[in-house]
Structure 1
Amino acid sequence: MSNWTIKEDLSLINLIINHLKEGSTMSNAYRDAAEMLNKDVSECEYRWSKVLSDFYSEVSVFAHLKDKLYTE
């Protein structure tokens, strides 16, 4: 896994929040973040779920529920 800068963290956070506001999925957010930040999708997913989501738990819970509701 690569190192992350504060700017990259903020970009990932903003991208995920924007995707969710638009009704998109976390999978799409991770894919777009990976492309934008020149990282692997797995790095973006790990960074969000293991490092950043604790600070944004409400967004994370909403995203999880939304993905469950619309993919089942």
Structure 2
Amino acid sequence: MCKRDHTTKTVGAFHVTQPEPGIFVWTTPSGHTYRRETNGTTTLIAIRPPRHATPEPTHHDKDDAPPPF
């Protein structure tokens, strides 16, 4: 990892994993995930909500149900 990338990772704004030697998977604060190859190419893998985003409720109480029209 170059000095700039190492600093970015260390500050903690980005999350990085290394699934295999020389390959890095970066997740940005906005939830975009990129794969950086050993040849320097970068590919967008996924766009997810940021880690700090509030998840949507997974169930509804009958009092929360929309009106029947």
Q: TM-score, normalised by structure 1?
A: 0.21
State the structure with more CA Rg. 2
Q: TM-score, normalised by structure 2?
A: 0.21
